[in-house]
Amino acid sequence: MTSIAQLLDAPVTPACDPGLATPTWDFDALPTYGPGASVADVVPAATTNARSRPGQLPIAYQRMTNDELHARIAAAKASLGDRVVILGHYYQRDEIVAYADFVGDSFQLAGAALTRPDAEAIVFCGVHFMAETADILAREEQTVILPNLAAGCSMADMADEDSVEAAWAELAQVYRFDPDETVGPDWFERHPGGKLPVVPVTYMNSSAALKAFCGRHGGIVCTSSNARTVLEWAFARGERVLFFPDQHLGRNTAKAMGVPLAAMPMWNPRKPLGGNDAEALRDARVILWHGFCSVHKRFTTAQIAAAREAHPGVQVVVHPECPMAVVDAADAAGSTELIRQFVADAEPGSTIAIGTEINMVNRLAAQHPDKTIFCLDPVVCPCSTMYRIHPGYLAWTLESLAAGEVVNEIQVDPDVARHARTALERMLAAAPKPLTGTPSTSTTSTSSTTGGPR
Ligand code: 13P
Ligand code: SF4
């Protein structure tokens, strides 16, 4: 299978960040880099404690050859056996996916964390917010490890707790409610048919603190696979929704549900009332936080037009973090798992152009040699924070575990975890649904399984 490194070695393939052409370890040592790079590259405050401090990767691991690293990962994993479960997001490099017990999108991996309650440790090959979620959902005795604590998410960084609290206080003045009032988990049962003035909905790509904020205020978490079901849940319980941090997922989902664009004002946290007047906010159905994914915003309608011209009959499927015009011009839009399913369901001989992260696209292309599969963006552009889980970190964390030492643990503050769990449990009950479209040849399945073994 083609790895990013091999792709970058090919002289004709341009990359979105020249740093990607440097040796992996040099690239990994850069403080920030490329699309997807986390603004601060620090562990979110709600998970900072003595054990969560980034450990320094021992130099010995940096000097190991790939073959040595792979041999050591395999040996450590074998010696740990059922004591450890390794979860890998679809955007991880092939070298990491090879060792994952479960590979999936963020919804599936949140569920997968629950399927192995006997494992002592969950090693999450993904980014901060995913590992935090696993820690919140796991049993208290279980340890969650993020192999490289610098693996964040630039979109998640775009909504911090202070800015969301400040926005909430301003909205409370417009809608006349008490911003400090906690809406207990049983509020909806105690007020049948009652509606809150505004329901906070956070995308999974957010800190544990913001998930807790939603849990405290009658809100819910969504992922890209169940955003539509979650918005239905929220509209049944509130007059409107404050959706953060991804404006595109919020807009694309609400638009597919028939919400007019005029009822979706944008909230810019640096402006009073988010840059809106009170009347527009009173008429709003979905208030969209000004956040975005720097990987998915690279996709354009011009790329789709070029793919259609070069490949008549091509089917275009994109992730809903892409801008609205791109989702509108595509044949289908859905989460990472739904994209995988779209490709699996397409007839042999189909040509499919995909608008999502390059590791995922290359893997799909390798898994379906009977179909022509390519990335809409001709430039190689991995999510550079997902890319930070290098095999060296996996070898180090697994060997440390086998030696009885926990490194790079993610541990969410118990009070934050308690409220975040409320919002996450609501999210887990919301079944995935495609946003738009199915492959033209068969039906897209909307499996709600909790992650599958590879
Ligand atoms: P999924 O919800 O599809 O796993 O996406 C997570 C993500 O970070 C996409 O950029
Ligand atoms: Fe964050 Fe996903 Fe975008 Fe990476 S691809 S920056 S994890 S939203």
Indicate whether 447 pLDDT > 50.
no
Q: Regarding predicted confidence, which is higher, 17 or 388?
A: 388
Mutation pick for ligand 2 pocket among 127, 225, 358 (CB with most ligand atoms within 8 Å) = 127
Our answer on whether the CB atom of 205 is closer than 6 Å to any ligand 1 atom is yes
Ligand 2 site, CB within 6 A = 36, 127, 153-155, 205, 293-295, 321, 357, 383, 385-386
**Range 137-143 average pLDDT:** 94
E-assigned strands of 173-331? 199-203, 220-222, 241-244, 266-267, 286-289, 315-318
How confident is the model over 68-123, as pLDDT tens digits?
A: 999 999 999 999 999 999 999 999 999 999 999 999 999 899 889 889 999 999 99
Question: Is 293 labelled a binding residue?
Answer: yes
Helix ranges restricted to H, 141-274? 161-175, 187-190, 208-216, 227-235, 247-256
CA pseudo-torsion sign 178, 210, 200, 431:
negative
- On average, the pLDDT of the chain sits at 88
Structural domains of the chain in order of their starting residue, each with its CATH number: 4-154+384-412 (3.40.50.10800), 157-289 (3.40.50.10800), 296-375 (3.40.50.10800)
User: Strands 199-203 and 220-222, how do they pair?
Assistant: parallel
How confident is the model over 405-423, as pLDDT tens digits?
A: 998 899 999 999 999 999 9
Q: What contacts 148, CB < 8 A, 6 or more positions away?
A: 28, 54, 57, 388, 389, 390, 393, 408
Distance CA(50)–CA(148), nearest Å, equals: 16
Distance 36 CA to ligand 2 centre (A): 6
For the ranges 104-113, 174-183, 225-234, 366-375, the lowest mean pLDDT is seen at: 104-113
% the chain with pLDDT above 70: 86
Cβ atoms 156, 437 nearer than 8 A: no
Predicted confidence at residue 431, as pLDDT, reads 84
Distance 386 CA to ligand 2 centre (A): 8
Q: How far is CA 78 from CA 210, 254, 298, 387, in A?
A: 37, 46, 40, 24
Q: Considering every ligand atom, which ligand is closest to the CA of 294?
A: 2
Q: Regarding predicted confidence, which is higher, 440 or 179?
A: 179
Predicted confidence at residue 442, as pLDDT, reads 33
Q: What are phi and psi of 241, to 5 degrees?
A: -125, 140
Helix axes 161-175, 208-216, angle to 10 degrees: 20
How confident is the model over 195-215, as pLDDT tens digits?
A: 999 999 999 999 999 999 999
Question: How much is the pTM?
Answer: 0.91
- Nearest to 415, CA basis, from 24, 17, 30, 45: 45
Question: Is 383 labelled a binding residue?
Answer: yes
Amino acid identity, position 275: G
Distance 38 CA to ligand 2 centre (A): 9
Predicted confidence at residue 273, as pLDDT, reads 98
